[in-house]
């Protein structure tokens, strides 16, 4: 979440009229603000659509760990525990 906030703040800082650039340079303040608002909206769309899903795992890494099987049991690829000595019970698929 902190990374999302940093990216949004950086995008906002870069697109405030007159901080880094003025688009259009000879336009009025209203025209510059309107152009920068549209560019900011497009930038936020790109961040939400493509960038945020790529960095989603950075904030909340998966910590799920399966509990071990009891003594005498084995784990199937599905995650189920079956009796290790039972040759007639193959792992369910």
- Residue whose token pair is 């659509």: 49
- Number of domains making up the chain: 2
Q: Are residues 55 and 68 in the same domain?
A: no
2: pLDDT strictly greater than 90: no
What pTM was estimated for this model as a whole? Answer: 0.55
| Same-domain status, 14 and 31 | yes
Q: What count of Cα atoms within 13 Å lies in the side-chain half-sphere of residue 25?
A: 2
- Look at residue 58 in the predicted model and tell me its pLDDT: 66
pLDDT in tens, 22-43: 888 888 989 999 999 999 999 9
Average pLDDT over residues 69-81: 86
Alpha carbon distance 80, 67 (integer Å): 11
Winning range, highest mean pLDDT, from 11-15, 63-67, 86-90: 11-15
Q: Which residue shows structure tokens 């525990």?
A: 81
Are 55 and 82 in a shared domain?
A: no
Residue 93: domain span: 64-93
pLDDT of residue 40: 93
Q: Are residues 54 and 89 in the same domain?
A: no
Same-domain status, 52 and 81 = no
Check whether residue 20 and residue 44 sit in a common domain. yes
CA distance 67 to 88: 24
Do residues 40 and 68 share a domain? no
């Amino acid at each position: 979440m902190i990374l999302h906030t940093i990216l949004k703040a950086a995008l906002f800082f870069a697109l405030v009229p007159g901080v880094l650039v003025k688009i259009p340079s000879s336009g009025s303040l209203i025209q510059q603000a309107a152009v920068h608002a549209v560019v900011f909206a497009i930038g936020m769309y790109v961040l939400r659509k493509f960038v945020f899903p790529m960095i989603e795992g950075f904030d909340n890494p998966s910590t799920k760990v399966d509990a071990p099987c009891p003594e005498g049991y084995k784990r199937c690829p599905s995650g189920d525990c079956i009796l290790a000595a039972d040759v007639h019970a193959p792992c369910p698929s």
